[in-house]
Structure 1
Amino acid sequence: MNDWLRDYGWAAWMAAGAVLGVCEFLTTEMTLLMLASGAIAGGLVALAFPHLFWLQIIIAILVAWVMLAFLRPTLLRKVRNSAGYRSSLDKIVGAPGVALSQITPTGGEAKISGDTWTARSIGGVIESGTDIEVFEIDGAIAVVYPRNGPLTWGETQ
């Protein structure tokens, strides 16, 4: 096993980097991409110094840490400030849904984009089964109004 690590350790590092890089496509948060860069750096060190496994690990950890601490925040800021970017919460605003229970200005439950949300109405009472639309997200609560009805803005029914 020790001989294999010395001879092919670089391949293991590169494979780990490739797997982490591919998995990044599932998350798009750039964390796995930064870890992949550390693994690739470990692989490059393994090519140059195959017998110094401890150095490979230290370089891999250092590169991953530097990337996570300095490059990732900058990249995320650029992506999130780019034109046309909408977070998943921004996409829910305006989405249609259905009231799962009676929704009042103080609470209720709704199915929005396939997920169950705690909801409250803008005003008035929305009966169970009514088609709704999301007005805004307030913390973890969807503020909704009836989709095909008048807005009551604070009036009770």
Structure 2
Amino acid sequence: MSWMAWLIIAIVLGIIEILTVDFTFLMLAGGALAAAGAAGLTENLAIQVLVFAAVSVLLLFTVRPWARNHLQRSTPDTATNASALLGMPAEALSDVTARGGRIKLDGEVWSARTYGAVIPAGSIVIVQKIDGAHAIVHPR
């Protein structure tokens, strides 16, 4: 196989890595680049495949764990979706009871409930939990 074919394989594996961000396909792409180098030196396909396999395994067991740990340490733990709403203040648009009510949360109107006493309209509440389409709130 020619060095150009190995280069194309490495590029395809790199594109797959961009979609997964697991560092597995990146290590395989490194193996394909090494095999491209071997293909430039020899026409023997067995040697090229052996270089691909050896370099890929070496990268998977040495570089990949280090890269994953580094990424996890350097990436902030950002809350998203419903988790990002927990602890946020909101304004009660109507009385909020255990049966229901309305609040304005992050610019949107939400259905809300409380576990405790009635919260009057106009009060500021804190989101304690998201239960389906309802925000469970308590007074500030």
The TM-score, its normalising length taken from structure 2, stands at 0.60
Task: Give yes or no for the alignment of 1:94 onto 2:94.
Answer: no
Equivalent residues of 2:36, 2:48 under 8 A apart: yes
| Alpha-carbon distance, 1:35 to partner | 0.5
User: After superposition, what is the alpha-carbon deviation per residue over 1:76-109, rounded to whole angstroms, capped at 9, x for unaligned?
Assistant: 1001001x5237xx4342358xxxxxxxxxxxxx
> Counterpart in 1 of 2:35?
42
Partner Cα separation in structure 2 for residue 36 and residue 134 of structure 1: 46
Q: Which of the residues 61, 64, 84 maps onto 1:69?
A: 61
Corresponding position: 1:11 with 2:1: no
From 19, 25, 30, the equivalent of 2:18 is 25
Q: Mind listing any 5+ residue stretches in structure 1 that lack a counterpart?
A: 97-122, 125-132, 136-142, 152-157
- Following superposition, the deviation at residue 144 of structure 1 comes to 3.9
Q: Which runs of 4+ in 1 moved over 3 A?
A: 143-146
Count of paired positions: 101
Report Cα offsets for 1:112-139 as digits up to 9, x if no partner: xxxxxxxxxxx69xxxxxxxx784xxxx
**What is the alpha-carbon distance in structure 2 between the residues aligned to residue 150 and residue 144 of structure 1?**
11
Match of 2:137, as an amino acid? Answer: P
Is contact 1:134–1:144 with CA below 8 Å preserved after alignment?
A: no
CA contact (8 A) 1:35 1:64 kept: yes
Alpha-carbon shift at residue 24 of structure 1 (Å) = 1.2
Cα RMSD over matched residues? 3.1
Give SS of 2:76's match.
coil
Contact 1:79/1:85 (CA < 8 Å) preserved in 2?
no
